[in-house]
Amino acid sequence: RGGSHSSEAKLSPREEEELDPRIQEELEHLNQASEEINQVELQLDEARTTYRRILQESARKLNTQGSHLGSCIEKARPYYEARRLAKEAQQETQKAALRYERAVSMHNAAREMVFVA
């Protein structure tokens, strides 16, 4: 044999036959996994492109609708803002009611313990 002794992973047919079959099997699994990763990355790129296109299209449609509706949006905005704030206030009220019920329950339990003691 002539040539240089490089650290390439090129094996002669005899050396390849000597490889443990498990290594060959794992290399095949690795190749399959790499192919699957490449396919999924392509799908991801396609999905991102589609998402950006849909986002741009939606923004354009919203701007068009906003132009057509004009001042109606500004007139209706306070109403919808008030509805949102009312909903938030209702949720906070429900949370406060639950905290109050727990506190009353704990207070009654403590009074009962003091009475027993």
Cα 40 from Cα 34, distance rounded (Å): 10
Answer yes or no: are the C-beta atoms of 56 and 63 closer than 8 Å: no
Longest CA–CA span in the chain (Å) reads 101
Cα 94 from Cα 74, distance rounded (Å): 31
Q: What is the pTM of this model?
A: 0.45
Q: Above pLDDT 70, what percent of the chain?
A: 85
Per-residue pLDDT tens over the stretch 19-29? 788 888 899 99
Answer yes or no: are the C-beta atoms of 26 and 33 closer than 8 Å: no
Q: How large is the average pLDDT for residues 61-88?
A: 92
Q: How large is the average pLDDT for residues 77-92?
A: 96
